[in-house]
Amino acid sequence: MMNKPLFLTLLSALWLLGCNPEHLDLLPPLEDPSVMERKLTVEQMHQDIDAFVAGVLERHPELDAYADMGSLMAAVEETKAEITQPMLRTDFYRIAGRLNHYLNDGHSFLIWPYQEYKQLKGNGHNPFPFDVVISQQGAIYLKHDYQNGQKQLAAGSQILTINGVPASSIVSTLQQYSGGESRRLREQVVAKRFDLSLWAVFGFIDSFELELDGRPASLAITKEQSWQRVSAYNKEQQGEHYYKQLQAGVGLLYLAHFDIEPNQFEDFIDGAFAEIKRDQIHSLIIDIRDNPGGNTDTVTYLSRYLADKPFRLVSSVREKLNRDNRGWFNYKGEVGELITTQWQEWETPIDSEQRFKGEVYLLVGPVTYSAAIVLATTLKDNQFATLIGEKTGGFANQTAQGNLFNLPHSELRTYVTTRTLIRPSGDTERRSVEPHHVVNRSIDDIKKQRDAGIARALTLIEEKQANDA
């Protein structure tokens, strides 16, 4: 089974105006499965690198604004020079995948060899068993409490080394293989798919020797062990989308992603806001800190419940045409042409009887991305919500609508954006979404399983209620 966080990241760009499905097939079967066992020649790998660069240049609408083109091209030549002998495509990825971070775009990257990873897991191999947090300083901590028989590991325990590799080197290396506009975003993507990344880059699988801060001896983790998460603070156990009342008059709406069928999401939102009305909620906290994006139809529907005036999700769209997205008989234009369109699709609030009329507090963070950023800019630019948390790792004006293609010899899959979106306000500056109230989650918060973002929202709610009294 593929890793879901990256699946959501991939899906997050496939949303604004349709394209033909051939170049939007996310992870198709290999045309030639024997490529997993066959070594690629040096010439084939060099040609694949050239195809990767050419495909990015053909599709990306603003590559020179995202990437340092001189550094990118120098890295391409260095990468090709490093390939001097035949190798399997898994080893090829460990060299070529480092080009990803030079693109500086969470919607453009070379995808790991997912077929081999799926095959390993299907054959009973086990990846790294723990969820982790990567701090702003690049340190690695356990995200939850874990237990295996009588052995216990506490949330917030710092990992110093894995299989003898220092944690700082692990983070610095893995982030090079991730897409993302900032190193902070790339590190958070690594944390989200840490198990997969350790295998894809270092080849770590089944056995892990951990050195933990405060433990006198290293800890051996094997595939025969069964480590279970035991943390009391576990949003995943409550579901990927849920509503609950936190206290009298205060509700929490948690949205782990927007990768959900619009009809299913609409049913969930209708039901949630019916409960919100019955609970007489005056202040609603919406948590999208873990949300990497998905389908923006969901963003539109949710925003209509919160809006008190007509709104739009973006103000304009810029698209670079290629052979896959230029339309039937090139009706959009010629290959290579850049088209800027003012976005005229204005949305209207849901009817007054259903609409939420209380205060809205939106929790955001470094992982908040793609369609989740669209929600954040929609609510912020239209004054529909107060934003709390950390700034987003991606830009408020971001790329979108990716095309996918295979490299010709390795069949490694590549995902490249074709559009850029301008936020509803029309502000064209390339920067993160900044919250109104900055809250950074500390390691002490992790150890004590304390949610500083929700705590800050509750404080603001109490202050407003006192002032309005």
Report pLDDT digits (tens) over 83-109: 999 999 999 999 999 999 999 999 999
363: β partners = 287, 388
For residue 16, what pLDDT band results from cuts at 50, 70 and 90? very low
360: β partners = 284
Number of other residues whose CB lies within 10 A of the CB of residue 37: 9
Instruction: Quote the mean pLDDT of the chain.
Output: 92
Domain-located, residue 209? no
Sign of CA dihedral 286, 287, 289, 290: negative
Q: pLDDT at residue 469 above 90?
A: no
Q: Mean pLDDT across the stretch 162-180?
A: 97
Domain-located, residue 14? no
CA angle 67, 102, 391 (to 5 degrees): 75
Which domain covers residue 379, as residue numbers? 235-400+411-468
- Residue labelled with tokens 């990767």: 52
d(C-alpha 232, C-alpha 441), whole Å: 17
Backbone phi, then psi, for 377, in 5-degree steps? -70, -35
Domain-located, residue 30? no
Report pLDDT digits (tens) over 53-77: 999 999 999 999 999 999 999 999 9
d(C-alpha 49, C-alpha 322), whole Å: 19
Q: pLDDT at residue 9 above 50?
A: no
d(C-alpha 62, C-alpha 141), whole Å: 36
For residue 231, what pLDDT band results from cuts at 50, 70 and 90? low
- With pLDDT > 90 as the criterion, what percentage of the chain qualifies? 85
Long-range CB pairs of 73-77, under 8 A, 24+ apart, other chains included: 75/99, 75/102, 76/49
Q: pLDDT at residue 21 above 60?
A: no
Q: Return the closest-CA partner of residue 165 out of 189, 140, 193, 183.
A: 140
What DSSP designation does 202 have? Answer: I
Domain-located, residue 246? yes
Q: Worst-scoring range by mean pLDDT, 73-87, 115-129, 333-347, 408-422?
A: 333-347
Three-class SS of residue 253?
Answer: strand
d(C-alpha 159, C-alpha 213), whole Å: 6
d(C-alpha 424, C-alpha 432), whole Å: 14
Q: Mean pLDDT across the stretch 220-235?
A: 82
- Residue labelled with tokens 């936190």: 246
For residue 52, what pLDDT band results from cuts at 50, 70 and 90? very high
Domain-located, residue 449? yes
Number of folded domains in the chain? 1
Three-class SS of residue 153?
Answer: strand
Report pLDDT digits (tens) over 436-457: 999 998 888 888 889 999 999 9
What DSSP designation does 188 have? Answer: H
Q: pLDDT at residue 49 above 50?
A: yes
Q: pLDDT value at position 12? A: 44
400: β partners = 419
Contact 376, 392 (CB under 8 A): yes
Task: Record the tokens describing residue 13, joined without a space.
Answer: 């760009």
Q: Return the closest-CA partner of residue 359 out of 452, 465, 224.
A: 465
- With pLDDT > 70 as the criterion, what percentage of the chain qualifies? 93
Contact 389, 289 (CB under 8 A): yes
Domain-located, residue 135? no
Q: Return the closest-CA partner of residue 105 out of 26, 9, 14, 170.
A: 9
Q: Tell me which amino acid residue 188 is.
A: Q
Number of other residues whose CB lies within 10 A of the CB of residue 443: 16
CATH number at residue 320: 3.90.226.10
Report pLDDT digits (tens) over 371-389: 999 999 999 999 999 999 9
Domain-located, residue 48? no
Domain-located, residue 70? no
Report pLDDT digits (tens) over 200-224: 999 999 999 999 999 989 999 999 9
What DSSP designation does 198 have? Answer: I
Helices 296-306 and 262-278 meet at what angle, rounded to 10?
20
Contact 373, 394 (CB under 8 A): yes
Contact 52, 99 (CB under 8 A): yes
